[in-house]
Structure 1
Amino acid sequence: MGVKSKAAAAILVLLMFLGSLWLQGGLDYHWDTCLKGYNQVNKFHQLSNSSGADAAEDPRILEGCPGQTFQVSMLLTHLLAAPAYSSDVLLQPYLSSWDELVKFMESLGPMVGLISKEIETKTSVIRQLALLAEENPDAELSPDVHSINSGNTDVGTKNNAEASGHASAYHSVRSMIWVELNRGLVDFHHQTDSGCRTLLRLHRALLWLKLFLEKLAETPVAGRLRSPSELCREAYQRTLANYHTWFVRRAAELAFIAMPERGFFFRLVCVQNQDQLSTVLTRVVEAIEEVYNRTQKALEENGMLDLP
């Protein structure tokens, strides 16, 4: 079977997969909710932080890449603005980082672009929750909207002084965790649409992309450069594959077959060779790692690494 035939088969399998998720209620929000979330992005509370000001003058910031929808410079700017305080992550630049990563995935073609749609629904969930919290800062979130089991108000609640002091419940990762635990919105035994559960899914996907970009940045001392398809599949097998069913794993691996060759990534970030690509991606990977480690610590401290 040729590459085109495999790509066609992959499209069919992925469409069947997404359709099955829709029928089973596996997608967090319907497509119209996703689009609504995007239309409301500009209404999301714009949060200030000293790291954002520092990022504007940070020498690690890259220049823009003309003609590309995905801008690695914007991704790096958002990632550098996300860390806050000693161990927190601001949600606004965190979600903006995901906006750029979605563009990155969509640029890799319709196969990987389909996967990015699920990411969009998850960022929309957190944005919708943030908007509700902005409109009703003192009210409980409606259980009929979020399917919350309110019987877990005593589970793993941790009083985080930094988080509780924020004006917005969804100001940062730790403020969101603190508020949702205290309101009983996190269910440790049943699936819900809480911000914490949604963040965990994004967190796992971020590790996958981090490992992929890390591998793509590697320059072997000897031997050939491995194909992006091979690297992406390997990163997936080490991360997201651990949480997916056999069917989902097969669909994902078929999608990676249609991934562009390495030269495409040179053009995507406006570099000429592997050494330059390595320099750019290493900066991005380091920024992702800082955000990932902070989020990992916050989730782990509150026993949220295995939310259903």
Structure 2
Amino acid sequence: MVPLTRMKLLRLLLLAAMLALLLFISSLWLPQGGVRDCGGSWQPCLKFYRQTPLLVPEEGAEAPPLIPECPGQSFQAGRLLRYLKSSLENADDVLLEPYLQSWDQLLKFMESLGTMVGFFSHKVKEKVALIRELSLKRSLEAHGKRGPPDRSGLQIGANRSVRSMVEAELKDGVVDFSRRTDSGCRTLLRLHRSLLWLKLMLEGLADGPDADGRYRTPGELSRAAYMVALAPHHPWVLRQAAELVFLALPDRRYFLQLVCVRSQREATPVLHAIINALALVHTQTQRILAEHDMLELP
């Protein structure tokens, strides 16, 4: 009987420890006293600001809403929208430099949500940096000692756009369809999937309440988006780790502050403008990758 009792005790202690960990992570987003500029290392950092009034377009108007700069925070929704639109300058392509600049803003958005979201943002940041590194390397090789006309290697040449990068890497035999390689195409595919996750999450934030008047929490929305966009490509261990991230996400009000609005009504046109731009970029990238059978690169 003694071994059995000890086993039960160990199980209870293990369950208690897991519960305490989950409660600790969840509590990190609870208000901690008065208003502060920035939280601790485990908390989001968002300075409160005096907001410029948001221009909400009339029903049926095609003009996007005026998105003001938000003093005191690194993520700027207006800049994100501008970069996304700039990447679609060509009708059948996506320009890489503004595409990566869009990711710079999306990374700031993710990092504003706290250290726990680093589970996603760290890998995304590595992929953005890798595409820039590969672009510069290719540009240096193409121009030799003269050096590239631009420091990024993204304004002209093979890596100017998604389509030109795909075609150049296929021509050079850089892409491997049977094993993992650090090609720009494979890296872009991973960013492409993450872009879908963010788009789906923002779509949920733009939605109204359900029949009972309840808004879905950001954690619920992120989990649902993750199951569609990223979970099918992640092993079991990563899927379980992602659950902790969803528990640690802040409430809806915090997300609204990030896009510089004070209410769900003000947020809707801003979120729709960003979502539409994300959808266009995602669709165009999807089309290019699909044309070359690159949607399942290992």
Q: Which TM bucket (shorter chain)? A: 0.7 to 0.9
Counterpart residue identity of residue 213, structure 1: L
**Residues 187-206 of structure 1 mapped to structure 2, 5 A cutoff:** 187-206=176-195
What residue number does 2:13 align with? none
Which deviations, in whole Å up to 9, do the C-alpha atoms of 1:187-234 show, x marking residues without a partner? 000100000000000000100000000011101364211111111111
1:186 equivalenced with 2:175 (yes/no): yes
1:66 equivalenced with 2:71 (yes/no): yes
What residue number does 1:92 align with? 97
Instruction: Indicate conservation of the 8 Å contact 1:62/1:76, yes or no.
Output: no
How far apart, in 2, do the equivalents of 1:4 and 1:226 lie? Answer: 25
1:234 equivalenced with 2:224 (yes/no): yes
Counterpart residue identity of residue 83, structure 2: H
How far apart, in 2, do the equivalents of 1:215 and 1:235 lie? Answer: 9
What residue number does 2:256 align with? 266
Instruction: Indicate conservation of the 8 Å contact 1:205/1:240, yes or no.
Output: yes
What residue number does 1:281 align with? 271
**Residues 23-172 of structure 1 mapped to structure 2, 5 A cutoff:** 59-60=64-65, 62-137=67-142, 167-172=156-161
Equivalent of residue 287 in structure 2, options 261, 273, 297: 297
**Number of residue pairs matched by the alignment:** 235
Q: Which runs of 4+ in 1 moved over 6 A?
A: 1-4
* Range with greater deviation from structure 2 (209-218 or 105-114): 105-114
Deviation at 1:266, TM superposition (A): 2.0
How far apart, in 2, do the equivalents of 1:81 and 1:237 lie? Answer: 30
**1:207–1:7: structure 2 CA closer, same or farther, 3 Å change rule?**
farther
What residue number does 1:255 align with? 245
Q: TM-score, with normalisation over the residues of structure 1?
A: 0.72
Counterpart residue identity of residue 261, structure 1: D
How far apart, in 2, do the equivalents of 1:277 and 1:63 lie? Answer: 12
Instruction: Indicate conservation of the 8 Å contact 1:88/1:174, yes or no.
Output: yes
Deviation at 1:268, TM superposition (A): 1.4
Instruction: Indicate conservation of the 8 Å contact 2:65/2:270, yes or no.
Output: no
Deviation at 1:137, TM superposition (A): 1.2
Instruction: Indicate conservation of the 8 Å contact 1:61/1:77, yes or no.
Output: no
1:173 equivalenced with 2:162 (yes/no): yes
Secondary structure of 2:260's aligned partner: coil
Q: TM-score, with normalisation over the residues of structure 2?
A: 0.75
What residue number does 2:205 align with? 216
**1:288–1:8: structure 2 CA closer, same or farther, 3 Å change rule?**
same
Gaps of 5+ in 2: 1-15, 27-62, 145-154
How far apart, in 1, do the equivalents of 2:64 and 2:221 lie? Answer: 29
How far apart, in 1, do the equivalents of 2:274 and 2:19 lie? Answer: 30
